[in-house]
Amino acid sequence: MADPRLTPARADLAAVHLRGQVEAATFVVAQPQQVVVPVLDMRDTPSATSLSTQLLYGEAVDVYDTDPATGLAWGQCLTDGYVGYMRLDGLVDRADPPTHRVISFGTQLYADPGLKQTPTGHLPWMAQVAVTDHQAGYAQVAGGWIPDQHLVPLDQAGPDFVTIAESLTGVPYVWGGRSHQGLDCSALVQLAMARAGLSFPRDSDLQRAEGAPISGPLRRGDLAFWPGHVGVMQDAANVLHANIHHMAVASEPLDRAEARIEQAGVGPIIVRKRLLG
């Protein structure tokens, strides 16, 4: 059965490329859109109160249905394939492809290149933008100007993903969150991987399919998986993870984390994985 998180199909309509693979009353062609708010919440149903995930400024979305009455769109994020409902006013028709990403923990938008101005907006870490000009140390993007030092080209990878994840220590835990303002365990791994130039699934059960199982000593960069949870090994003994005990991204000895999580009823670590390549 197709994973509903990753399959743009409902009983009433589905993506046209799924014709013959799923049953639906209508098959529709995607409307190419992109996110134009700093962080856009996605939910699995129109009435859901909890987050499924979040989309970041500049990410591409294929929209298959819109409902002006509720102000919602239903579509699929092209970054990781996640499907759900999001605010229609957070999307516009897809324009120039992004050229750069924001690498500071948030950046300000200014009406003109220059320091002594009131910011007109902000963009989050890992936002994607199309740069059209450079002046006086600022880059022009849709909506204003950003300091050059807050951006890198999309194809410029950061350091190893563990170092990137460690830089997020202290960021609040948010179920379904996917930004430097708040994230969950799998988003920590996915975003750190993305900043390091690697594509990675959104949820921990999907991430668990990556890499090779290991039974020997752990090392930096290995992943430890519990049911519904993932942590990043900093070395043979210490794990970094976004977790509800600390309600933040935190580092602690793996044996301490495993004992506490098992005692809480989640269970022990079910697999340890080493990423290939």
The per-residue pLDDT for range 9-26, each reduced to its tens digit, is 999 999 999 999 999 999
- 96 touches 105 (CB < 8 A): no
Tell me if 13-93 shares its fold with 100-153.
Answer: yes
Residues forming beta bridges with residue 121, ordered by sequence position: 109
Tell me the mean pLDDT in the region 26-37. 98
Q: Where are the domains of the chain?
A: 13-93, 100-153, 161-274
Q: Give the pLDDT of residue 277.
A: 58
Q: How many percent of the chain have pLDDT more than 70?
A: 99
Tell me the mean pLDDT in the region 77-96. 97
Q: Give the pLDDT of residue 104.
A: 96
**Topology of domain 161-274, per CATH?**
endopeptidase fold (from Nostoc punctiforme) (3.90.1720)
Q: Give the pLDDT of residue 265.
A: 93
pLDDT in tens, 97-152: 999 999 999 999 999 998 889 999 999 999 999 999 999 999 999 989 999 999 99
**Topology of domain 100-153, per CATH?**
SH3 type barrels. (2.30.30)
Q: Give the pLDDT of residue 136.
A: 93
pLDDT band per the 50, 70, 90 thresholds, residue 248: very high
Q: DSSP per residue over the chain, as a string?
A: ---TTT--B-SSEEEGGGBTTB--SEEEPPEEEEE-SSEEEEBSSTT--S-SEEEETT-EEEEEEEETTTTEEEEEETTT--EEEEEGGGEEE--SPP-EEE-SSSEEEBSSSSSSS---EEE-TT-EE---EEETTEEEETTEEEEGGGEEETT---S-HHHHHHTTTTPBB-TT-EETTEE-HHHHHHHHHHHTT----SSHHHHTTSSEE--S---TT-EEEETTEEEEESSSSEEEEEETTTTEEEEEEHHHHHHHHHHTTS-S--EEEE---
Superfamily, domain 13-93: SH3 Domains (2.30.30.40)
pLDDT in tens, 161-202: 999 999 999 999 999 999 999 999 999 999 999 999 999 999
pTM of the entire predicted model: 0.95
d(CA 78, CA 63): 10
pLDDT above 90: residue 276: no
d(CA 40, CA 211): 30
